[in-house]
Structure 1
Amino acid sequence: MNNFYLYGRYISISFKSQLQYKASFLLQLVGHLLITVIDFFGIWALFARFNSIGTWQLPEVALFYGVINISFATADALGRGFDSMWRFIKNGDFDRLLLRPRSTVLQLLGTEFTLKRIGRFFQGFVVMVWSLTTLNVKLNLQIIWLLGASFIGSVALFLGIVIIQATLTFWTIESLEIMNVLTYGGVETAQYPLGIYNKWFQQFFTFVIPLGCVSYFPLVAVLGKDILVPLWFCYLSPMAGIVFLLVALKLWKIGEKYYCSTGS
């Protein structure tokens, strides 16, 4: 409970610092909102030209877009400290985290909760609500479970990817940009149903990076479309994101053992 209290204090301080310059904060928030609006406009233009992608219509794809964007916005806001890990390594500031009587994971999670990601979250939420309304999806307990599990699993998955990226800096010092293929590239991939991609691509984002487990399978069940896996699997598959996060945290602990200070 003390760790939860400390994390709450971290977040409170982060909020206060970001709101010191309200005009700057509002401009950044609106900027993130407009960027994601333009992003969805591109998807709309694609469907306006071709009407459908296979058997998928715009409102159905919009559900994938909405859920994955609110999930990524949340994970991006929570994991900003890990995204800046290379600076801690290069400047030797990670030594300070190790000297404190708290987990380095807790301290990095509390470094900054990026409020400007609210713009992306809000836009994704609006698109998701529009999709559910257009498709006449009734929010019963099963649908709420599938949407909630998909959200939690996706947040855990993206946090896990960011933590693995941060872990690699113990050896590489600099952050590896190739990892953005799995973060931002993963977001772009999951905005569309996984079934439209090649077989090897589907397998990679199901068994290696379980993006399909946290978004595709539960959301297909929400839409009531035919799928090759049992229905019960769709209800449980988002847990793969939590398992991925736990593995990432284990790798983080291993990486810490190999940390060498700057020597300054």
Structure 2
Amino acid sequence: MRWKFPAGALVALAFLIPAAPAVAQTESPGLNESCQTVERKVYKDIRELVTIDLDTATNQELRVLTAQILATANAEKLPVLPGAIQDRLKGTEDDLRAFLKKGVLDAWSVALRISVVRTLTDAGTNVDAAAQKVLGSAAVDDYLAYLNDGLYAARALDCASQPTPTPSATPSATPSATASAAPSATASATTTGAPTAASSASPGGEGGGLPVTGADTATVAGIGGALLLLGGAGYLIGRRRRSSFVA
């Protein structure tokens, strides 16, 4: 039962052991789902962590190795694998040894496969094709190659094929400015010019309108001539009656 305290310490240190390597492997830039440049996430091959003979390793050595694998899985945010490791750390030495020989690789393969499937969310044509090809092979090495390199290469192709938003924004701004300016200028000209035309055209108004000519002048002259004739006839008739009365 002496191993219980060291095991607890190893589990606590599991989150700290590979901290420096994890940082070193995320420096390469790449594109994310939104085509923004970010630090590329690198998935480590946990088989490289196994540097001891699992058949002859002591219980403490097994637990140190298990803590390193657990820390790597947590740093990469792998599904499945961290939970499986935690369960084995609660078991016996033989259970842990058997798990490190085969079970950990099986759980790791499932975790990588799930990580590949997650990249299909809102994926472009090239990412979708590359992911489907890898999922069809079902090999750990193919999963790692895709997650570390193939995904970013396919995503770069998808991002390069997307249209840039700058050309579409320029034409939409120019017509709107022209259209908004034209009606205001027209309305201003109409409002300013309308009263002047009405004032100059109104007859008899102040400001010196044009004299009335044409058909209206002839009518007035005709009426005036008729009145003169009627007045002359009345004068003559009245004179004759006066002469007859005197006689």
Tell me, yes or no, whether TM beats 0.5: no
Structure of higher RCO (CA pairs closer than 8 Å, 6+ residues apart): 1
**If the length of structure 2 is used for normalisation, what is the TM-score?**
0.30
